[in-house]
Amino acid sequence: MAQIGWLSDSGQNVPFADALTISEAQGSWNSIPHEVLVLIKEQVTRVRPEGISVTQLLGCPRKVFLEKSNDWFSHPIENWPALRGTLIHSLLEQTGGQNAEVEVRYEREYKGIKISGQPDSVRVLGKGKRRLIRDWKSTAKLPYYDSAYSSHQLQTNVYRWLLRLDPRFTEIEIVYISMEGVKAIPLKKGGTSRYGRAIVNQVMTDKQVEAYLDTRLIQLYNQNSSGVPIPYHKVDEGDLWNCDFCPVKRICYARAADEAREAFLTGDEVGRVPPRERKVKR
């Protein structure tokens, strides 16, 4: 199951085919040009890899489950950031050269569970075993500080683990692209700055990556095998920033009410209920 259509500005669920029929005849639907709608539909209906991906590991696990087990609608503007990223990546795919693997999907098993991930590029540096993993992020504004966002650090550290690369010989870099320009931010490897300040090590060891997998991967796997998502009130506090951009929020909140009722009846503690929805102006 997956996204099967768009939410109109007035909140109606409109199947892809209906919206595209209108946009083809009139040039646009919901003020979005036909060409953009065609590209979005192509992107959101693309076949996803089997198993658990690195991207799924990083988001809200409940969202991963609900997206897979429901048909849903999303406003085209909510689809736009993903399409913007895909457009940039499709240009970068042409830039590999002899020393780099670009957009290759890698797999590794952990505790019998298959994980896959696709770093944007893995480049051989020099003639030895040094490698450079790069991930490109399209963003509205370039980061102000010289430190990559923590979710991007985590994602690329898992890629390094996935490729079984030695952290000592691996450089990791996040390249942010916006309308303002490009900013490449390497992950720091610890040490002391020239001003004598300690530099935090942002490159994780295998053990640290596996400690993360022990909570996150197992949680995702258990959801898939039991057919039951983790209840809303048990979603990690640190994952709730995803809610503002979550296409299955309506499904999640509706289900949360039943979960809270069940938990109440069994004497479980319900520490959190969904917030009241504010009307979004588009």
Q: Which of 113, 124, 163, 243 binds ligand SF4 (CB under 6 A)?
A: 243
Q: Is 270 in the site for ligand SF4 (CB under 6 A)?
A: no
The yes or no reply on residue 43 touching ligand SF4 (CB under 6 A) is no
Output the smallest distance, CB 182 to ligand SF4, in A.
30
Could you tell me how many residues of this chain bind ligand SF4 (CB under 6 A)? 13
What b-and-e string marks burial along 171-192, b requiring 16 or more CB atoms within 10 Å of the CB? bbbbbbbeeeeebebbbbeeee
Stretch of 129-137, 163-171, 192-200, 232-240 contacting ligand SF4, by CB under 6 A = 232-240
Please say which residue, 8 or 242, places its beta carbon nearer to ligand SF4: 242
The yes or no reply on residue 32 touching ligand SF4 (CB under 6 A) is: no
Does 213 engage in binding with ligand SF4 (CB under 6 A)? no
Measured in whole angstroms, how far is the alpha carbon of residue 62 from the centre of its chain?
A: 13
For the record, the structure tokens of 110 come out as 């952990």
The Cα 143–Cα 157 span in angstroms is 19
Sole binder of ligand SF4 in the list 221, 235, 259, 260 (CB under 6 A): 235
In sequence order, the 6+-apart residues with CB closer than 8 A to the CB of 14 are 5, 6, 7, 8, 29, 73
> Rounded to whole angstroms, how far apart are CA atoms 202 and 148?
9
Assess 62 for contact with ligand SF4 (CB under 6 A).
Answer: yes
| DSSP per position, 53-103 | EHHHHHS-HHHHHHHHHS-EEE-HHHHHHHHHHHHHHHHHGGG--TTEEES
248 contacts ligand SF4 (rule: CB under 6 A):
yes
Q: Which is nearer to ligand SF4, 80 or 241 (CB)?
A: 241
Kindly state the tokens that stand for 57.
């590991």
Q: Which residues bind ligand SF4 (CB under 6 A)?
A: 60, 62-63, 66, 232, 235, 240, 242-243, 246, 248-249, 252
